[in-house]
Amino acid sequence: AQRGAIVELELEEPEFDDDSPRYDLLGKSAGIALTDDERRALIGKEPLPNGLGLVVRLPATIVETLTVPPSADQQTTSATATVLGRSGLEVSGGSANGNSEALLAAGETSDAKASLRVKPLHASLTRYRAHAQTTYTPLLKHSVFDVLAAQRHDIAARLRKHAEHVKQHPSDTSIWFDKGWDAKLRNALAPRLEAVAHVVNAQIHDVLPAAKAAPVGAVERVMARGAARVQGINETTRAKVQEAISRGLEEGLSVTEVADLIEEAGTVGGLDMGSLFDELRAETIARTELMDAYNATAIGSYGDAGVTQVQAIDGDGDEECAARDGQVFDIEEADSIEDHPNGTLDWVPVLSEVP
């Protein structure tokens, strides 16, 4: 090289695909109430399918572990069973609602020991119940409404296709109502009902372990129960459509005209076809099935833990609920009680002995 020449050094700068700043941001967002989809967006991920990413999460770093036992002068000497009342406070010698006759006499029990174990459990379950209602009801409503909408279109299409057969055989519902709707509605409900059942079962058995291994677990029993309830929901739909067909034919409508009214959410013979497939019914189904799964799991889990009786906690919205509120039932009887749609029924264990 010649003296005095200027040498220029050219370097290719490496390209880095470094996602660490985004993941650092994700870590720093842990204490902020964000949905799963919002957290995924921070690192460039797509939203989860089917609304699964709409759950808001926060770290559970401060949790209730126990309740400080009362002082000696606050304790009672009652020898009756310990019952957990509406506010989460156990009541000895009377129910939380003043219904002392609902309690069964038992041997000497330790109020403090029951308080330390059961009160935090009920408080935790109550919080989870509210969380499940708030979080899962909108998702279930959306899934159920999709099924109802598809069901309405399918029924109307089948009625048009088989109009002559339906006219000649109006009692034959098999030609226009597909039994496959049971599986479709069950699939719309099952994932979130099962999630609730697992959480309730786990929380109860953490405090009240199963006394013995049952042939079928509480969660499995609840899912089988849900499958039977789905059949009842679809049976209501089938029966109402069949009644609409009969009324429509009596009024001189053709089967095709009845099908059109079903599709258009109209009225047939005084029957509102729209309410059979609308968002309000979808929400009612979502709320009712969610709470039935919650309560059935609680009752089953209490039974597996050796609890023989539970107390009904209910509202005063109607005479049936008000009459049931505070009453004590055997586990088997409680499991057979079906709350009305959008009901508020809840169950708490009656403990005659606290191991």
Whole-number percent of the chain with pLDDT over 90: 49
| Lowest-confidence region among 11-25, 118-132, 234-248, 337-351 | 11-25
CB 237 within 8 A of CB 151: yes
The secondary structure of residue 105, as a DSSP letter, is: B
In the Cβ-directed half-sphere of 213, how many Cα atoms lie within 13 Å?
Answer: 1
Q: What is the distance between the alpha carbons of residues 317 and 227, in angstroms, rounded to a whole number? A: 28
pLDDT tens readout for residues 181-218: 999 999 999 999 999 999 999 999 988 888 877 667 88
pLDDT (0 to 100) of residue 41: 73
Evaluate whether 30 touches 59 at the Cβ level (below 8 Å). yes
The secondary element (H helix, E strand) that includes residue 82 is: strand 82-84
Question: What is the value of pTM for the model shown?
Answer: 0.69
Which residues are 268's β-sheet partners? 271
Q: For tokens 């090289």, name the residue.
A: 1
Give the mean model confidence (pLDDT) for residues 67-77: 40
- Check pLDDT > 70 for residue 179: yes
- Which pair of tokens denotes residue 302? 């209490």
Query: Over 50: is that where the pLDDT of 169 sits?
Result: yes
**Residue 198 CB partners (closer than 8 Å, separation 6+):** 219
pLDDT band of 176, cuts 50, 70, 90: very high
Phi, psi of 328 (to 5 degrees): -105, 135
326 vs 310: CA distance, rounded Å:
10
